[in-house]
Amino acid sequence: MSKVEQQLEDLQAEIRGEVPNDISISDVQYEGPELVVYTRNPKRFAQNGDLIRKLASQLRKRITVRPDPDVLSRPDDARDEINAVVPEEAGVTDLDFHPDTGEVVIEAEKPGMVIGRHGSTLREITQKVGWTPEVVRTPPIESATVSNVRNFLKQEREERRDILERIGRQIHREEMSDEEWVRITTLGCCREVGRAAFILSTPETRILIDCGDKPGAEDEVPYLQVPEALGAGAATLDAVVLTHAHLDHSALIPLLFKYGYDGPIYTTEPTRDLMGLLTLDYLDVAAKEGRTPPYDSEMVREAIKHTIPLEYGDVTDIAPDIKLTLHNAGHILGSAISHFHIGDGLYNVAFSGDIHYKDTRLFDGAVNEFPRVETLVLESTYGGRNDYQTDQEDSERRLKEIINDTYDRGGKVLIPAFAVGRSQEIMLVLEEAMREGDIPSMPIHLDGMIWEATAIHSTYPEYLRDDLRDRIFHEDENPFLADEFNHIDGGEDERQEVADGEPCIVLSTSGMVEGGPIMSWLEHLGDDPDTTMTFVGYQAQGTLGRRIQNGWDEIPVGGGGRGRGETLNLEADVQTVDGFSGHADRQGLENFVKTMNPRPEKVLCVHGDEKSTQDLSSSLYHEYNMRTFAPKNLETFRFL
Q: What is the CATH number of the domain that holds 7?
A: 3.30.300.20
One domain, residues 274 and 220: yes
pLDDT score, position 559:
47
One domain, residues 353 and 490: no
Q: What is the percentage of the chain residues whose pLDDT exceeds 90?
A: 75
DSSP reduced 3-state for 636? strand
Task: Look over the chain and give the mean of its residue pLDDT values, rounded to a whole number.
Answer: 92
One domain, residues 571 and 594: no
For residue range 540-557, what is the model confidence (pLDDT) as tens digits? Answer: 888 999 999 999 988 887
Residue 367, domain extent? 175-386+583-639
Q: Which residues contact 361 (CB under 8 A, 6 or more apart)?
A: 425, 428, 429, 465, 468
Domain final residue pick, 549, 576, 603:
576
* 267 burial type by CB count under 10 A (0-12 exposed, 13-18 middle, 19+ buried): buried
For residue range 57-88, what is the model confidence (pLDDT) as tens digits? Answer: 898 888 988 998 888 889 999 999 999 999 99
For residue range 407-445, what is the model confidence (pLDDT) as tens digits? Answer: 999 999 999 998 998 999 999 999 999 999 999 999 999
Q: Which pTM does this prediction carry?
A: 0.93
- The count of structural domains within the chain is 3
Q: In angstroms, rounded to a whole number, what is the distance separating the alpha carbons of residues 165 and 171? A: 10
State the Cα angle at 9 between 8 and 12, rounded to 5°: 85
Asked if 331 and 358 count as a contact pair (C-beta separation under 8 A), the reply is no
Query: Average pLDDT of 369-386?
Result: 96
For residue range 189-240, what is the model confidence (pLDDT) as tens digits? Answer: 999 999 999 999 999 999 999 999 998 777 789 999 999 898 888 989 999 9
Is the model's pLDDT at 474 over the cut of 80?
Answer: no
Instruction: Give me the helix-helix angle, 3-18 and 51-59, nearest 10°.
Output: 140
One domain, residues 409 and 506: yes
Asked if 320 and 172 count as a contact pair (C-beta separation under 8 A), the reply is yes
- For residue 318, name the pLDDT band (cuts at 50, 70, 90): very high
Query: Average pLDDT of 492-510?
Result: 95
Q: In angstroms, rounded to a whole number, what is the distance separating the alpha carbons of residues 305 and 317? A: 19
Q: In angstroms, rounded to a whole number, what is the distance separating the alpha carbons of residues 85 and 385? A: 59
Q: What is the CATH number of the domain that holds 547?
A: 3.40.50.10890
One domain, residues 210 and 338: yes
Within a domain: 170: no
Partner residues linked to 319 by β-bridges: 322
- DSSP alpha helix (H) spans, 130-203: 144-155, 157-171
Within a domain: 86: yes
Q: Which residues contact 126 (CB under 8 A, 6 or more apart)?
A: 42, 43, 45, 46, 132, 133
Cα dihedral angle (260, 301, 249, 378), rounded to 10 degrees?
A: -80
